[in-house]
Structure 1
């Protein structure tokens, strides 16, 4: 049914708005903006940044103008353990640029793989359009950083420091995606012209050689061997010579990455709890670890995160970092901006509705480093290590209310030992359901 807006309707709307209360609110909003005019100090007062469990994780990192939050969060969790084991200074960081280089290289090959797999589909098919819209970007998932580390190891930032493009990636991504779309034209034409497998493979190798050259020129040549020199917190000097990225990971991180699994909370009808999910065409390393999520209730997800925090280990987690976030003061709390009250409207939706209707999805990964409890032992607020530098929040740390976590947190990564036998069996042995490439549980990448 069609229904146009009439001048009579507008006159009625204008008359209904002409109240003294609306006039006061209008002056406040037009002068100060929506967030400042609706700022709820009571919510701030209820989320004082003091926590029963508060891990000492040192200074925050800064991803700057790049989308490497997932990578920073993962390397930060490893850095926290290294800091405790080797008494490293707060300044120490693993190289985010090193894993960035290899992620870009592998994503190019992953893109070629998907282009060839969809070469017989029309250009306007949703899958092909999805691939070509963004051939690659900075984002990623926990399992994707595991795939990179499994293959390439890690290095300290001193062995492979930041470059202009790793800290501000927009220019590079524009150039790189143009190259990949150009290559997609060639690969699809080869398939359309019935080229042989060897010709396609040779062409793809030439493309990868171009990709490597572009990456090497842009970010610098990644190290094959290096020496690691450092002073510990007591200023004692240490040096380890002739390390490879793999031997460095084994000696200084030493994690069994197969024991860390992705747990999600997606309460939508298409994703029953206590089941696993893959996302179509989501990944980076061809032949590497696949992205796999185990979906559980929000209470279960929280309990798993708390168990790992109680064991003294920080927790990688993914959220929608858009709604109800006070970046300046470092607060993630439902109701900190009381916009519905400001406008006298009701825009509430359930978590499932926000996912289903495109209102919310995972946009940012950070690290849980603490939690506070009420008198009944239930969580009330969480301490969050961000990767936006020390100027955001409280020297880079945020406070997240438990209510906000329920509504906008979607993923944690925890060790299998905290899951229990039943969930481990589901994760290891159940056949995952394949989600569409554009599913919100793949949005962080």
Structure 2
């Protein structure tokens, strides 16, 4: 590039003259001043709410499955586990003859945390040849032991460790509010990463690295158990059903309990994802490097498809009587008093007088949208076979929304839903074929690696 090239430029500082011009323009704009006065005393979401759109999101559903209470993840990022356990408990409620039943979310988190700690330390040993500030080690160190996860990760936990009724491993202060526990565990694991990397760099034998890792994991186990309690290895299961009849089923391991009281075979399911970026073709399998929790388990796997396919299979599943796990970017365009989602529901562009419209692909590509929350579809409203809205079981307690349930306009699905979990036998042939192909491997920091 020559020195006279018109494209060459230097970094420019803001000038007081520019700011003065903007101030004058704002002062002369009656709509801008009206918006400022309104937002000064009222939430911008209330000011920008399109009331006509809100009233158009009715709560009625042509197909609705839920007749139970919503759960509450409280101050934790366990939505993905809550959504999966909510999916599983639909079977358990029928087997037990009870309307309300919950699996222990604390139990599931305990095993995810300890397995994920081991997974992380194994990564640190494998990456010992890279400097800690190289991009992959630094990313893993920065994001160690987050609360969120993906479908294949919870399948790995349930298949290895089973599940137990909530009464057998109830919530603790730290399971409901994970901040302090996570902080201590992250410090412990980062210290462990340094010790393992230094030992590997100094030529330690594999057996010595194994011994050192086991010592670190022993400390992780101690801290985690102090916070969450001791998970049961076996237990008696006795209960009264909703008609008052007493049942004594005997003694179970967590794995036996899950197998007996759920009908779902977890390996029969696959995660469909809508990655809108053109470089990732529809109809291809995707995975994310270094994303997982249980060493040796199946990797995280997505089948990339379009939103219409995801909606069609999800609706068919609900009509057939089964709920659907899904992941989305939960916050945009949500009216959070009634629990309503609709594209364009909160009209920020008109409120600000600034064009904020963008596409799903651009939002993903430029860091403005990713999977942030997992929930359960428990209903769908079909008109001539096509969905116009969806009923959602959230995990924020019964005090919010419609006793914990939300309503999603179909337009929101297109823009902010990223993944759904469905049975493999419901897939079209071209997606079934993709299950046998080598997946495209995405970088650890790719947006599709975001944890719901």
Partner of 1:308: 317
TM-score, L = length of structure 2: 0.95
Query: Are 1:387 and 2:403 counterparts?
Result: no
Query: Are 1:63 and 2:73 counterparts?
Result: yes
Q: Is the 8 A contact 1:57 1:369 kept in 2?
A: no
Aligned equivalents of 1:5, 1:102: Cα separation in 2 = 52
The root-mean-square deviation of aligned C-alpha atoms, in Å, is 1.3
Partner of 1:438: 445
Aligned equivalents of 2:310, 2:143: Cα separation in 1 = 31
Aligned equivalents of 1:235, 1:89: Cα separation in 2 = 12
The correspondence of residues 15-414 of structure 1 with structure 2, limited to 5 A, is 15-17=24-26, 18-90=28-100, 92-374=101-383, 376-414=384-422
Query: Are 1:422 and 2:430 counterparts?
Result: yes
Aligned equivalents of 2:401, 2:136: Cα separation in 1 = 39
Structure 1 residue 57: Cα displacement:
4.1
Deviations 1:153-188 (A, max 9, x none): 111111111111111111100000000001011000
Structure 1 residue 337: Cα displacement:
1.3
Deviations 1:208-251 (A, max 9, x none): 22222222222111111101122222222212111111110111
| Aligned residue pairs, count | 442
Deviations 1:36-62 (A, max 9, x none): 211111111110111111112410000
Q: Is the 8 A contact 1:266 1:410 kept in 2?
A: yes
Aligned equivalents of 1:247, 1:423: Cα separation in 2 = 33
DSSP-derived class of the 1:158 partner: helix
DSSP-derived class of the 2:298 partner: coil
TM-score, L = length of structure 1: 0.97
Q: Is the 8 A contact 1:325 1:331 kept in 2?
A: yes
Aligned equivalents of 2:240, 2:12: Cα separation in 1 = 72
Partner of 2:5: none
Give ranges in structure 2 of 5+ residues lacking alignment.
1-8
Structure 1 residue 24: Cα displacement:
2.2
Structure 1 residue 86: Cα displacement:
3.0
Give ranges in structure 1 of 5+ residues lacking alignment.
none
